[in-house]
Chain A
Amino acid sequence: MAPRFKPESLVLAVCLIGLGVIWTLGNMGRIDTLASLRTWWPASLVLWGLLELVRTFGESRDRRPS
């Protein structure tokens, strides 16, 4: 049986990657760290919501009789 899909784990991983990228670019002088974090942090909620939708549709399709 395939492991169960967990949206929150995926969100946490993507957020950590995003935070690291923004912070690195900030330290390199390419972007303003605080301004970028302020702009992009709500995107983590959007990403999480989308993944929850994907999971819900996936589960309802699995329960439908073939």
Chain B
Amino acid sequence: MKASKIGLLILILGFGGTVETAWRVRNHVGGFPRFWFDKYGGPSFRYENAPEVRTVAAGTALVIENRHGLVSIKQAPGSEMRITLAKVVYLPTDEKAREFAARVNLVATDQAGRLHVTTNRHDVENSARDVGFETHLSITVPPGTPVKVDSEHGRIEVSDVASAELSGSHEEIRVERVAGPVTIKGRHDDVTVSTVTGALRAEVRHGRVEVKDIDGAATLDVDHGSISAERVGGLVISNSHGDVDVAEVKGDLQVVARHSGISASRVAGRATVETSHNDVNLDEVGADVSVKVDHGGVRVEDVTGNAKVRTTYNDVTLTRVGGTTDVEVKHGGVRAEGLAQDAVLRTTGGNVEVDGFRGRMDVVTERAGVNLVATAPLTAPITVRTSNGDVELDVPAGSPFGIEASARHGDVSANVSQLAFITNEQSRIVGQLGTGGPAVKLDATHGNVRVREKTALAAQQNP
């Protein structure tokens, strides 16, 4: 027999065997491999029931349970709830699908103070496990209706209701214009919420969360999804593996995150942020700031209150801090500008550079240098201690202060006019400029100490 005949025989028998096996699996096992003949794949047919209308008392709650289908709730004038069920059946022919769809019905039950709406999906599925079908519920409700929805594998859309308690998965949840509180539990898809008068509480896994215009406080617990929040009364966030972007919080902001980048601006109250393996950016905070980051950088700008920052393996940048500053960095440096009050700065492995400060300055570094530029006459003590790095202090001309500077394994120099030296040695100087003034104590180990007058500095830079 020729090879072509053997090949064709194997092809036909192999194809026939595959078809026979698939047929037996579909008819006798009850499920089916979802690579070709998916239960929710192939031809489908849509049928819509006539709306079911229920007249309800004011404030009657709507409770919905649904699987595999859209739940859409909108407001309409009057005192009626109008419920429309649309069915999509996945069967090969219109005749079979229509016959199957006739078995799927709406189940609406009046209970004390609420209308419970669902379908007989459970019963139908038990008798036909191999047929895929969707049940889409579109409902109009009277004004002021509280809503509760429990849905899986279906999109949820709710607007203009009194309150909303929603649980959904595998499709988006979208909520707009709610007069009271909103509670959401979402899985495996995005959640979008806008214009809520009450408080918002959302717990979301594997989905992005976007909230806007929330008058009350918002509590967002999100894993493996990013968060975007805009114009929120107050905000408490728990997040992992997704970035957080916040704009305009009327109250306090509190974030506890892991593996998340945090960016927030225009926070009226306190901002407390904790994250890891990513950066934190805060702009325009109206009260205190507290930031803790593991393996990430921090940038803080325009803070009215105190700033407390702890981070590792990256740098901290501070600009215009109105209150006190307290920074501790391991394996990173600090760059600061416009520190209005006392500052305590601790670093290892990164330089400290401060341009413009007014209060007491207390700096300790290891394996790094320090550069302080005073833009106004000194009014508070300065203490700097470094190891394996230089100390540079630039003071304005005529600013009275008393100085004691020393360098172990390094040199000390002071180029300040009118500075009267009490001790002037290569590695130690003690002196006084004018009368009174704050004490300046600079100490370097394995580094040099240089004190310069700002005019002298300008002359050095522009000879």
Indicate whether A53 reaches chain B with its CB closer than 8 angstroms.
no
Known A8-B5, A34-B37, A44-B12; judge A29-B45 contact (CB<8 A): yes
Indicate whether A3 reaches chain B with its CB closer than 8 angstroms.
no
Known A8-B8, A26-B43, A27-B42; judge A34-B94 contact (CB<8 A): no
Structural contact, B16 and A34, CB atoms closer than 8 A: no
* Bound CA span A64–B250, Å: 104
Structural contact, B23 and A8, CB atoms closer than 8 A: no
Name A28's contact: one of B4, B15, B20, B43 (CB within 8 Å): B43
Indicate whether B376 reaches chain A with its CB closer than 8 angstroms.
no
Q: Mark A29-44, 1 if CB is under 8 A from B, else 0.
A: 1111111011001101
Chain A nearest Cβ from B21, distance in angstroms: 10
In the bound complex, residues from chain B placing their C-beta under 8 Å from that of A48 are: 8, 12
Indicate whether A12 reaches chain B with its CB closer than 8 angstroms.
yes
Name B92's contact: one of A8, A11, A31, A41 (CB within 8 Å): A31
* Bound CA span A45–B11, Å: 11
Structural contact, B23 and A38, CB atoms closer than 8 A: yes
Structural contact, A34 and B4, CB atoms closer than 8 A: no
Chain B nearest Cβ from A33, distance in angstroms: 7
In the bound complex, residues from chain B placing their C-beta under 8 Å from that of A28 are: 43
In the bound complex, residues from chain A placing their C-beta under 8 Å from that of B93 are: 29-32
Structural contact, B19 and A34, CB atoms closer than 8 A: yes
In the complex, chain B residues 356-374 whose Cβ is within 8 Å of any chain A Cβ:
none
Residue of A nearest to B97 (CB): A29
Pick the most buried of A6, A12, A34, A41: most chain B CB atoms within 10 A of its CB.
Answer: A34
In the bound complex, residues from chain A placing their C-beta under 8 Å from that of B19 are: 34, 37-38, 41
Q: How large is the interface on A (under 10, 10 to 19, 20 to 34, 35 or more residues)?
A: 20 to 34
In the bound complex, residues from chain A placing their C-beta under 8 Å from that of B42 are: 26-27, 33
In the bound complex, residues from chain A placing their C-beta under 8 Å from that of B409 are: none
Structural contact, A32 and B92, CB atoms closer than 8 A: yes
Structural contact, B12 and A41, CB atoms closer than 8 A: yes
Indicate whether B22 reaches chain A with its CB closer than 8 angstroms.
yes
Residue of A nearest to B16 (CB): A41
Structural contact, A29 and B16, CB atoms closer than 8 A: no
In the bound complex, residues from chain B placing their C-beta under 8 Å from that of A30 are: 92-93
Indicate whether B446 reaches chain A with its CB closer than 8 angstroms.
no
In the bound complex, residues from chain B placing their C-beta under 8 Å from that of A35 are: 23, 92
In the bound complex, residues from chain A placing their C-beta under 8 Å from that of B96 are: 32
Chain B nearest Cβ from A21, distance in angstroms: 15
In the bound complex, residues from chain A placing their C-beta under 8 Å from that of B8 are: 8, 11-12, 48
Name B16's contact: one of A6, A27, A32, A42 (CB within 8 Å): A42
Structural contact, A8 and B4, CB atoms closer than 8 A: yes
In the bound complex, residues from chain B placing their C-beta under 8 Å from that of A12 are: 8, 11
Residue of A nearest to B15 (CB): A41
Chain A nearest Cβ from B2, distance in angstroms: 8
In the complex, chain A residues 44-61 whose Cβ is within 8 Å of any chain B Cβ:
44-45, 48
Chain B nearest Cβ from A37, distance in angstroms: 5
In the bound complex, residues from chain A placing their C-beta under 8 Å from that of B54 are: none
* Bound CA span A56–B257, Å: 80
Residue of B nearest to A27 (CB): B43
In the complex, chain B residues 77-117 whose Cβ is within 8 Å of any chain A Cβ:
92-94, 96-97
* Bound CA span A2–B335, Å: 91
Residue of A nearest to B4 (CB): A8
Structural contact, A34 and B26, CB atoms closer than 8 A: yes
Structural contact, A45 and B43, CB atoms closer than 8 A: no
Name A45's contact: one of B5, B12, B23 (CB within 8 Å): B12
In the bound complex, residues from chain B placing their C-beta under 8 Å from that of A41 are: 12, 15-16, 19
In the bound complex, residues from chain A placing their C-beta under 8 Å from that of B94 are: 29
- Please list 12 pairs of residues, one from A and one from B, whose beta carbons are closer than 8 Å in the complex, sorted by A's number: A8-B8, A11-B12, A12-B11, A26-B42, A27-B43, A29-B45, A29-B94, A30-B92, A34-B19, A35-B92, A41-B12, A48-B12
List 11 additional A-B contacts (Cβ < 8 Å) besides A26-B43, A29-B97, A34-B22.
Answer: A6-B4, A8-B4, A11-B12, A26-B42, A29-B94, A30-B92, A32-B96, A33-B37, A35-B23, A38-B23, A42-B16
